[in-house]
Amino acid sequence: MMDELQLEARSAGSGLAAYVLVTPARNEAQFIGQTIEAVVAQTVRPLKWAIVSDGSTDGTDEIVSRYAAEHAWIELVRMPERTERHFAGKALAVRAGAERMVGLPYEVIASLDGDIAFEADHFEFLLRKLKGDARLGIVGTPYRDTANETYDFRFVSTDHVSGACQVFRRTCWEEIGGYALSKGGAIDSIATLTARSKGWKTRTFPEKMALHHRVVGTAENSQMKSRFILGKRDWMVGNSAVWQLFRGLRQMTQRPYVVRGAAVMAGYVWAACTGVERPVPAELRALRRKEQMEQLGRFFRGKTGAESAANTGEHSTQAAR
């Protein structure tokens, strides 16, 4: 195992903050190798990377173990199989990985999904953004998935940082308490909302693009079920009903036409009518609705999310994807 001096030396030459990675992985054998290859190829590598297998049964552990044998800074962390499946599992896995970083001299911690690929300077790029603005707490990039979908900055604010790869300044991560143990999901949105409520900036930088090897939300569900769940989560985190209407209408224009947006709206209405528990505090839900109305205002004025951030420095939240 590398000693602390060796770990520090890895980032010292770049002049950038030392960082660590945590990847929650459940049955990612199909893609985890490509993600590992992308990280190994980085121009600035992490001090340590904890890949947390959340009860994988498809060979994920064996693939990670082979890479860990070649790279001392990669560690496989095994979690026992859970009988109950819920979105808090990701938060628990990330926490387990973060615990493996105790004693390391890092300033940045990133949560990275196990089915992502990106260019060799991906993390160097984001570390330079953090270096350039001390108030940036969470950063990331857009992604394109296998359905060739990506962010549309007419509807997406650059404040929305995808949970596929969220890079946190350590002080921000610790101030917000890491990921919330929300069984209903939306832990990435909760993290960015909480950070902004505490005065941090959150930002997606569209100059770079990552590749998501599957359509988001379909790892364990069909696309229609994943859209229904997405609508349900929209209710749970406090989306404005007006925003949700526009969100659903926009998604009706995407394949599969009509039913995609209908599924999102149905999930939202079902959650509202059945009184699904909301894990987000009332003040954060109010902040979310305020930011959504600001985003709609910018849309009708003809500004994109990227233009707004570049021209005014404003930071609103939502991705109407």
**Distance of alpha carbon 238 from alpha carbon 288, whole angstroms:** 7
> In this model, does residue 153 exceed pLDDT 90?
no
Contacts of residue 241, Cβ cutoff 8 Å, sequence gap at least 6: none
Q: What pLDDT score does 12 carry?
A: 47
Q: pLDDT tens-digit profile of 74-95?
A: 999 999 877 666 668 899 999 9
pLDDT classification of 218: cutoffs 50, 70, 90: very low
Rounded to two decimals, the pTM is 0.87
Q: pLDDT tens-digit profile of 279-307?
A: 888 999 999 999 999 989 888 888 765 55
Q: Which domains does the chain have, with CATH numbers?
A: 4-212 (3.90.550.10), 223-312 (no CATH)
Q: pLDDT tens-digit profile of 174-192?
A: 999 999 988 777 899 999 9
Closest CA to 36 of 56, 59, 12, 63: 63
* Cα torsion through 61, 65, 71, 77, rounded to 10: 50
Q: Which residue has the higher pLDDT, 25 or 320?
A: 25
